[in-house]
């Protein structure tokens, strides 16, 4: 019988693609949902992925409670811990992000250790690597850590760094035989299978709807969600991935306006509402007085943090899709789903 894998947060953008990749490789899959009433969301997305006849188990568990986690990990060889709180565009207290992220990660790790799980793959983020530092010309690498006291560190970024630190500290101190690897993606794009989108794809959605008169003068990296899922599976099974952090990016970080240009070239008339210009920095600062969510953009203006996926490619033979394919497949899926 094939190995059983738990995917936390199966209704999420990354979680469902991990489930699809696992099912296609013949694994048994169990996933956590906060309520069994949401299991149909996973099933509907599997139908869209062409896997509607797949068997999948559901387990009720929430990052904010110990209840359900022993049952969720029981009998599993591997765990892909994908679920994470993310309150985009809301004026949340910092602890509303940090506490669930850190304590939820530790709950999963404790339950996995106690159940004899072989390896956990933590879906972290470039947010745990490349922030809170002075400007630099060299790429950020896996050995770098975000300085959580930095001026450009938002509550979300801080929560990702603290949660990943806690995971590595836990495994080192009291993990027993439990193995750990982390995958640290940049902005995640790629095809949506349902209405629940990554924050990066939500931004594209708003651009396509014409909600942005222009874009800020910032740059960031992109990676396709299907490639993130593939890297998660490599990190799960390959012996050399144990104990490793693995950055996931396709190419280099590019200016935000270039994202709009790539989409416009692909979409033609469908991309008529995409922004065509960069907004001056002063306008972003003024806008932040009206829209609190724009405040996090101000420390990023004019910055281009570069990183590389050379480690994942050389160590595990991982080869990501192009930025163009990641962005264009995002846009196509949004139109197909009627979300634009």
Q: Measured between alpha carbons, how far apart are the two ends of the chain, in Å?
A: 43
Q: Provide the β-strand partners of residue 140.
A: 307
Instruction: Determine whether 196 is an active site residue.
Output: no
Residue from 160, 265, 273, 295 carrying the catalytic annotation:
160
Chain centroid, CA 276 distance in Å: 27
DSSP assignment string, 151-215: TT--HHHHHHHHHHHHHHHHHHHH-TT-EEEEEEESEEES--SSS---HHHHHHHHHHTT--SSB
DSSP assignment string, 235-277: HHH-GGGTT-EEEE-EEEEEEHHHHHHHHHHHHGGGGTTS--S
Q: Residues with Cβ < 8 Å from 68, sequence gap 6 or more?
A: 32, 59, 60, 61, 62
**Contact call for residues 30 and 57 (beta carbons, < 8 A):** yes
Handedness of CA 314, 319, 322, 328 (dihedral sign): negative
Q: Give a three-class secondary structure readout of 3-43.
A: CEEEEECCCCHHHHHHHHHHHHCCCEEEEEECCHHHHHHHH
**Residue 43 main-chain phi, psi, to 5 deg:** -60, -40
Q: Residues with Cβ < 8 Å from 149, sequence gap 6 or more?
A: 132
**Contact call for residues 109 and 120 (beta carbons, < 8 A):** yes
Structure tokens that stand for 19 in this block: 């489930």
Question: Known catalytic residues?
Answer: 160
């Amino acid at each position: 019988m094939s190995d059983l894998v738990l995917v936390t947060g199966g209704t999420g953008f990354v979680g469902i693609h991990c489930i699809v990749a696992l099912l296609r490789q013949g694994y048994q899959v169990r996933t956590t949902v906060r309520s069994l009433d949401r299991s149909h969301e996973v099933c509907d997305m599997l139908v869209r992925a062409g896997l509607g006849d797949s068997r999948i188990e559901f387990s009720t568990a929430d990052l904010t409670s110990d209840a359900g986690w022993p049952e969720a990990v029981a009998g599993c060889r591997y765990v892909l811990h994908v679920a994470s709180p993310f309150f985009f565009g809301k004026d949340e207290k910092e602890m509303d992000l940090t506490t669930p992220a850190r304590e939820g990660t530790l709950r999963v790790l404790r339950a996995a250790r106690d159940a004899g799980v072989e390896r956990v793959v933590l879906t972290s983020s470039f947010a745990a690597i490349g922030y809170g530092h002075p400007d630099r010309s060299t790429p950020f690498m896996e050995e770098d850590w975000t300085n959580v006291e930095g001026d450009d560190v938002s509550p979300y970024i801080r929560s990702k760094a603290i949660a990943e630190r806690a995971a590595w500290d836990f495994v080192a101190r009291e993990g027993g035989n439990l193995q750990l690897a982390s995958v640290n993606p940049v902005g995640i794009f790629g095809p949506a299978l349902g209405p629940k989108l990554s924050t990066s794809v939500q931004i594209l959605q708003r651009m396509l709807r014409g909600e942005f008169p222009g874009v800020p003068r910032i740059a960031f990296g992109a990676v396709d969600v299907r490639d993130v899922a593939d890297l998660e599976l490599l990190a799960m099974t390959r012996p050399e991935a144990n104990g490793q952090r693995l950055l996931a990016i396709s190419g280099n970080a590019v200016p935000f306006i270039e994202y709009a240009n790539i989409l416009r070239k692909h979409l033609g008339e469908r991309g008529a509402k995409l922004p065509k210009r960069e907004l001056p920095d002063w306008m972003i600062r003024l806008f932040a007085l009206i829209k609190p969510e724009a405040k996090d953009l101000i420390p990023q203006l004019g910055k281009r943090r570069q990183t590389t996926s050379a480690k994942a490619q050389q160590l595990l033979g991982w080869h990501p899709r192009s930025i163009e394919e990641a962005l264009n497949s995002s846009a196509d899926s949004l139109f197909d789903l009627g979300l634009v």
